[in-house]
């Protein structure tokens, strides 16, 4: 099977049939026996740890990444300064105070205001959607604590996946505050029930009161639901000591492997170096960082130099601001026309399934030919759309948007929680991801003609 | 299939073939459409909550159980006072202090002494067994914190199940203290990894220093392991504010359904009313309590009166002392010769698989005939040994020891943790457990000749 499918890479690359086969074999072979990504990830998650924007750990991670790229012999490595939000968690607690006394497993949402001294109390109004909240109206919500209680499921897709509920987390506090709520709680956006709260970003709206917002464990949301369903008034108290400090200096880390023919044309492979503060950011997005870094090392060490430049970008502040991505797109605005593709790796460390892509007409078919060789590791599926939060900032300039498509069945079991730790990563899957990204990056950068671009958006 | 297997109950009971079938049909039919056990369990876990010995919640649970038995029309309900240990959890925290700073998810083990003011610190010595610790000797252990790091697996059996590691939790502090350790930590005895510590009982030995003992999350034990494996000295600090207060008054709750021919002969069906303090004791052992209580209600409501008395015993203090069981066996010592069988229900709320039994020669075969009718709900398996912590106190008197055999695949995911909550229970499985226990209790109490007894043990 290997020899049959390896033929395919020749069709996608400009290296000719034999050259394509040979390069694919070198990449796959090298990636599948190499634990370099694991070693990088172990250092980043175990030794540096959680890396929220503004933290000393994020600064250490940036320094480490620069040094590591250099140790790996990458041609050109630099940082690009970015001012990032500096939100810090404080002491936090929550409990049902009536009709029973029951502690709630709680985490403030990122960017939440603290509660006032002594915390906030009130009866709970439970809804499963913003529409349901609107339907209740201000008289039912004023002075209360709104609980968004929507369960999500593993591989739940549009109906009950993460994407179906993340809007509640982001916008739920503002929506509740408009109707006079004094606090906002949300059932954690997680796909397992181990009394584990999952944090994540939220935002306020100008002119709307900034009420405190926190996530509680699935079990606790279900208990409140059962008590409400039995006709009780449920009163909750919570206290958040988080705060926002002045913006902090941070940086994107950029590293180039110069192309052999058109070094001014760039394929970006990107992941984010920041993480939430409660786990060690192993799957979100330490794994992506390690896969990107090891891809660079592998291409360099094997002397695999495609036509165009492969650029690693380790973005800062993806989690609570996306300032790194905004800075990159702004700073490099004039060069985005020469950014021929951007690939985001931010779905954990599950086995690669293939590639997701958004490109101009015919682009998906070209990606399909590049990815065909990944059949040997069951990673040759191609689907659309592609992209990710960081590279989306290059979308208006028409840069084709791709993502490494990974098995994310268990990703949301741990995502944004204190259980996002190294043990959740399978070293074998990590190697396969390096193989997949290295093949994809090389293939994209070595095309005779670059991928068809997306239609630019008006500014 | 139903009619075929229902024939079997006649063989085990004294009701004759037709009577046996009829009774089995009434029990199964009644149990499988009834949510009474769920309602009881919901009240016990959601409304009363965690019930550690000495807590006001355990007192409320005892009062509630008495009232509930009476509401259910049980003939004779009473409490038997028991003095129980009164250990209470306090503030607790733990962290790796070098070579990295990392918080550990921690729970004091039940009955642990507190740390001295300011906590305890030391380098970690990691072992997977008591034998390995002995092998290291005092020079390697003195002044250090011993970490017992043994992973257990779902359905791990003898090799890697709960039973293979619970001795470390119970005796590990004393073993470590004998070699001069200053503290004891143990990887939580749980079968899932969600940064969730699992508590449980430990004991000290006379004449051996009483060092503080706590469980940490699996992830944290693995991190310490990785750091040690890389050659680092790992220093940990932990602080436990738990304490032991004077013994508290508690009680077993006893309820009788008098037998129609030999009311002085007794089949005990038992579960424990106390629980650990961190979840709501839904699966350990609220489910057992609800199954026992609903079995009594069902037999009473349907007018099903076997030859002998069926006695529900809701034991106190199973978790950290087994004082309820000791009291029962002592108080009723003179009557244990007329205790013809004891069944323990303390394996959660998973679907019933059958019955586990330890009885005299031929006893297992008789149980097999009684259980045969449970084929309709796939719960007719019979195996040995049987028994449980509470009824084991009747074992020396020769009382046959049985247990409801339940699917416990996921039991140790949640056991003794804050995730032991009502949502872990499937209402349908709970109904099936009531069906299984009601059939078993009726069958045992209605035998013409009681089960062959076990050989009495010398006192």
B421-453 pLDDT tens trace: 999 999 999 999 999 999 999 999 999 999 999
Any residues with CB less than 8 A from the CB of A214 and at least 6 apart, and which?
Answer: A92, A94, A106, A107, A108, A109, A112, A183, A184, A185, A186, A197, A238, A240
Q: Do B424 and A195 touch (CB under 8 A)?
A: no
3-state secondary structure of A140: helix
ipTM over 0.90: yes
If we measure between CA atoms, which residue out of B261, B260, B271, B401 comes closest to residue B336?
B401
B360-413 pLDDT per residue, tens:
999 999 999 999 999 999 999 999 999 999 999 999 999 999 999 999 999 999
3-class DSSP state of B95 = strand
The CB density around residue B401, as the number of other CB atoms within 10 Å, is 24
Could you give the C-alpha distances from B269 to A260, B65, B291, in angstroms and in order?
A: 79, 15, 10
- Chain B CA closest to residue A227: B46
Question: Which candidate in B35, B46, B94 is best for mutational testing of the A interface (most A CBs within 10 A)?
Answer: B46
Q: Find the Cα–Cα–Cα–Cα dihedral A49, A51, A55, A58, rounded to 10°.
A: 100
Q: Tell me how far apart the alpha carbons of residues B211 and B238 are, in angstroms, rounded to a whole number.
A: 12
d(CA A392, CA A356): 14
The label of the residue with tokens 């297992």 reads: B364
The answer to whether A449 and A341 have CB atoms below 8 angstroms apart is no
Both structure tokens of B155: 């359905």
Query: Which residue on chain A is closest to B193 by alpha carbon?
Result: A419
- The three-point CA angle A157-A163-A165 to 5° equals 110
Q: What pLDDT does B70 receive?
A: 98
A429, pLDDT greater than 80: yes
Inter-chain residue contact B222 with A423, CB threshold 8 Å? yes
| Residues on chain B touching A198 (C-beta within 8 angstroms) | none
Whether omega before A285 lies within 30 degrees of 0, making that bond cis, reads yes
Report cis status (omega within 30 of 0) of the bond before A146.
no
Average pLDDT value for chain A: 95
Question: Cα(B272)–Cα(B322) distance, rounded to whole angstroms?
Answer: 10
pLDDT of residue A22: 86
Could A47 and B414 be called an inter-chain contact, meaning their C-beta atoms sit closer than 8 Å?
no
**Residue B12: pLDDT above 70?**
no
What does the alpha-carbon distance between residue A325 and residue A328 come to, in Å, rounded to a whole number? 5
Residues belonging to chain A with any Cβ–Cβ distance to chain B shorter than 8 Å: 42, 46-47, 49, 99-102, 105, 192-196, 218-219, 222-223, 226-227, 279-280, 413-414, 417-419, 421-424
- For A311-338, what is each residue's pLDDT tens digit? 999 999 999 999 999 999 999 999 999 9
Q: Do A46 and B223 touch (CB under 8 A)?
A: yes
Minimum distance, in Å, between the CA of residue A321 and any CA atom of chain B: 26
What does the alpha-carbon distance between residue B4 and residue B21 come to, in Å, rounded to a whole number? 10
- Note whether B332 and B72 are within 8 A (CB): no
pLDDT (tens digit, 9 = 90+) per residue, A94-124? 999 999 999 999 999 999 999 999 999 999 9
Q: Which tokens is A141 given?
A: 């919500």
- β partners of residue A216: A106, A187
| B396, B455 Cβ separation under 8 angstroms | no
List pLDDT tens digits, range B248-293: 999 999 999 999 999 999 999 999 999 999 999 999 999 999 999 9
Half-sphere exposure of A218 (CA within 13 A, CB side): 19
Residues from chain B that touch A424, judged by Cβ atoms under 8 A, are 193
**CB neighbours (10 Å) of residue A246?**
8
User: Could B193 and A419 be called an inter-chain contact, meaning their C-beta atoms sit closer than 8 Å?
Assistant: yes
Sequence-distant (6+) residues with CB within 8 A of B333 are: B397
For A418, the closest chain B residue by CA position comes to B195
Q: What 8-state DSSP symbol labels residue B329?
A: H
Identify which of B219, B421, B422 has the shortest CB distance to residue A419. Answer: B219
pLDDT at residue number B10: 42
Burial of B124 (0-12, 13-18, 19+ CB in 10 A): buried
Q: What is the pLDDT of residues B187-196, one digit of tens each?
A: 999 999 999 9
Query: Which chain B residue's Cα is nearest to A105?
Result: B418
Q: Which residues of B are catalytic?
A: 318
Task: Write out pLDDT tens, residues B88-147.
Answer: 999 999 999 999 999 999 999 999 999 999 999 999 999 999 999 999 999 999 999 999
pLDDT in tens, B35-70: 999 999 999 999 999 999 999 999 999 999 999 999
- Spatial distance between the Cα atoms of B430 and B271, rounded to a whole number of angstroms: 14
3-state secondary structure of A136: helix
Q: In this structure, how many other beta carbons lie within 10 angstroms of the beta carbon of residue A208?
A: 13
What per-residue confidence (pLDDT) applies to A10? 42
What stretches of B51-128 show up as alpha helix (H) in DSSP? 56-71
pLDDT of residue A459: 66
Q: Which of B218, B226, B419 sits opposite A195 (nearest CB)?
A: B419
Nearest-Cα distance to chain A for B187, in Å, is 14
Contact B293/B432 with Cβ under 8 angstroms? no
- Residue A1: the pLDDT is 33
Q: Which of B49, B105, B417 sits opposite A418 (nearest CB)?
A: B105
Provide the annotated active-site residues of A: 318
Residue bearing tokens 């944290």: B220
Nearest CA in chain A to B102: A49
Chain B residue closest to A193 (CA)?
Answer: B419
Task: Using an 8 Å CB-CB cutoff, list chain A residues near B417.
Answer: 194-195
Q: What is the pLDDT of residue A21?
A: 79
Q: Give, as one character, the DSSP assignment of residue B201.
A: B
Contact call for A196 and B194, based on CB within 8 A: yes
* C-alpha to C-alpha distance for A386 and A400, rounded to whole angstroms: 9
Is B424 close to A226, i.e. CB distance below 8 A? no
Record the tokens describing residue B341, joined without a space: 């069988």
- CA-nearest of B246, B282, B291 to B53 is B246
**For the residues B158-166, what does the mean pLDDT come to?**
93
Residue B458's pLDDT band, with cuts at 50, 70 and 90, is confident
Query: Which of B101, B219, B421 is closest, CB to CB, to A421?
Result: B219
Q: Which residues of chain A are within 8 Å of residue B234 when distances are taken between CB atoms? A: none
Q: What is the pLDDT of residue A158?
A: 82
From residue B371, give the alpha-carbon distance in Å to each of A293, A355, B5, B435. Answer: 61, 55, 10, 11
| A419 to B194: CB separation less than 8 angstroms, yes or no | yes
Are B413 and A47 an interchain contact pair (Cβ–Cβ within 8 Å)?
no
CA distance A255 to chain B (A): 28
Six-digit token pair at B214? 């706590």
Q: Do A49 and B102 touch (CB under 8 A)?
A: yes
pLDDT bin (cut points 50, 70, 90) of residue A20 is: confident
Which chain A residues are Cβ-neighbours of B47 within 8 angstroms?
99-100
């Amino acid at each position: 099977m290997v020899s049959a499918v390896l033929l395919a890479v020749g069709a996608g690359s400009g290296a000719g049939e034999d050259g394509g086969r040979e390069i694919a074999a070198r990449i796959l072979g090298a990636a599948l026996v190499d634990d370099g990504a694991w070693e990088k990830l172990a250092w980043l998650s175990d030794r540096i740890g959680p890396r929220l924007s503004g933290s000393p750990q994020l600064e250490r991670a940036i320094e480490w990444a620069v040094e590591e790229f250099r140790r790996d012999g990458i041609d050109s490595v630099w940082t690009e300064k970015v001012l990032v939000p500096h939100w810090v968690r404080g002491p936090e607690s929550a409990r049902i105070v009536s009709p029973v006394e029951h502690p709630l497993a709680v985490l403030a949402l990122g960017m939440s205001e603290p509660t006032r001294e002594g915390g906030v109390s009130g009866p709970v109004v439970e809804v499963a959607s913003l529409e349901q909240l609107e339907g209740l109206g201000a008289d039912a919500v004023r002075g209360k604590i709104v609980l968004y209680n929507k369960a999500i499921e593993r591989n739940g897709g549009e109906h009950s996946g993460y994407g179906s509920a993340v809007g509640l987390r982001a916008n739920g506090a503002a929506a509740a505050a408009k109707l006079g709520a004094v606090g906002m709680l949300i059932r954690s956006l997680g796909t397992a029930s181990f009394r584990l709260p999952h944090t994540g970003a939220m935002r306020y709206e100008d002119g709307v009161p900034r009420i405190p917002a926190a996530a509680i464990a699935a079990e606790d949301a279900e208990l409140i639901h059962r008590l409400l369903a039995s006709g009780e008034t449920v009163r909750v108290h919570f206290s958040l000591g988080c705060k926002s400090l002045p913006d902090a200096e941070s940086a994107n880390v950029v590293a180039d492997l110069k192309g052999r023919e058109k070094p001014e044309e760039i394929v970006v492979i990107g992941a984010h170096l920041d993480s939430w503060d409660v786990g060690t950011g192993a799957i979100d997005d330490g794994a992506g960082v390690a896969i990107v870094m090891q891809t660079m090392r592998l291409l360099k060490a094997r002397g695999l130099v495609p036509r165009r430049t492969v650029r690693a970008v380790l973005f800062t502040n993806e989690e609570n601001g996306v300032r790194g991505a905004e800075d990159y797109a702004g700073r490099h605005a004039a060069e985005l026309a020469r950014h021929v593709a951007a690939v985001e790796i931010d779905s954990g460390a599950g086995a690669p399934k293939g590639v997701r892509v958004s490109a101009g007409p015919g682009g998906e078919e070209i990606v399909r030919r590049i990815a065909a060789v990944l059949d040997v590791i069951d990673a040759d599926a191609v689907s659309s759309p592609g992209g990710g939060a960081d590279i989306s900032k290059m979308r208006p300039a028409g840069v084709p948007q791709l993502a490494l498509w990974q098995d994310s069945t268990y990703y949301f079991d741990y995502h944004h929680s204190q259980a996002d730790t190294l043990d959740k990563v399978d070293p074998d899957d990590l190697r396969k991801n390096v193989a997949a990204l290295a093949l994809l990056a090389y293939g994209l950068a070595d095309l005779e003609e670059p991928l068809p671009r997306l239609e630019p958006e008006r500014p």
